[in-house]
């Protein structure tokens, strides 16, 4: 039976993740309500804007239930803004009242927009541990990881910065693999379920 993987569909690139997950062998659907969160075996938190996503998690009464599911072991994959939200600590989280909120899924410190503004977005091929050939990575106002805890495995770097990590059933990338035709990272996540 295929795992049921939800994509948090409050804001961000939901459609691309749904397609990538289905191609990777998962039964994929959107998550906007608590009942939908309760029905999934795993969750993808897409790219988008981390402060807007944090606000919407509160508005849809999903913030604390999602934190509880993550603490209970819900496998998650976060790309870009999803990486920021999965962090234990966020540097430059935003202004008070509108800040990105850490879900504390991965023992890491992430810096928002670390590579720069929208005009500083870039693409490039990077080595990714566990994959035989480089991954074409799309970085859009991307974060990077400034600190990892003892249980966190670094999977990729770009410009000497950590851009992909795994801790147990949690996976995070600061780039957007869903924007390319390469489904290997989604496949790694689905196969780990």
Nearest CA to 78 out of 179, 151, 164 is that of 164
| Residue pair 157/126 in contact by the 8 Å Cβ criterion | yes
140 is in an annotated binding site: yes
Task: Please tell me whether 82 is known to bind a ligand.
Answer: no
Ligand-binding site membership of 116 (annotated): no
* 97 annotated as a binding-site residue: no
Sign of CA dihedral 167, 4, 37, 174: positive
Any idea which residues carry the catalytic annotation?
Answer: 80, 176, 178
Please state, in angstroms and as integers, the Cα–Cα distance from residue 26 to each residue in 23, 42, 82, 98, 109, following that order.
7, 10, 19, 34, 30
Whole-angstrom distance, CA of residue 174 vs CA of residue 27 = 24
CB 59 within 8 A of CB 52: no
Q: What residue has token string 């770097």?
A: 157
The SS3 call for residue 23 is helix
Are the C-beta atoms of 40 and 2 separated by less than 8 Å?
no
**141 annotated as a binding-site residue:** yes
Q: Is 58 a known ligand-binding residue?
A: no
Binding site for L-glutamine, by residue number, is: 48-50, 112, 140-141
């Amino acid at each position: 039976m295929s795992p049921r993987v939800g994509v948090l569909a409050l804001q961000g690139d939901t459609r691309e993740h749904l397609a990538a997950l289905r191609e990777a062998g998962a039964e994929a659907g959107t998550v906007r309500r608590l009942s939908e969160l309760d029905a999934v075996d795993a969750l993808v938190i897409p790219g988008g804007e981390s402060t807007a996503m944090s606000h919407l998690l509160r508005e849809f009464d999903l913030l604390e239930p999602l934190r509880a599911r993550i603490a209970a072991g819900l496998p998650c994959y976060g790309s870009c803004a999803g990486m920021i939200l999965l962090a234990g600590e966020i540097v430059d989280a935003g202004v008070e009242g509108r800040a990105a909120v850490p879900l504390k899924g991965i023992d890491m410190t992430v810096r928002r927009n670390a590579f720069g503004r929208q005009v500083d977005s870039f693409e490039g091929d990077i080595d990714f541990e566990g994959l035989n050939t480089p991954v074409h990575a799309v970085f859009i106002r991307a974060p990077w990881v400034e600190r990892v805890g003892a249980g966190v495995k670094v999977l990729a770097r770009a410009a000497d910065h950590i851009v992909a990590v795994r801790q147990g059933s949690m996976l995070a990338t600061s780039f957007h693999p869903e924007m390319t035709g390469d489904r290997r990272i989604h496949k790694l996540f689905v196969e780990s379920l």
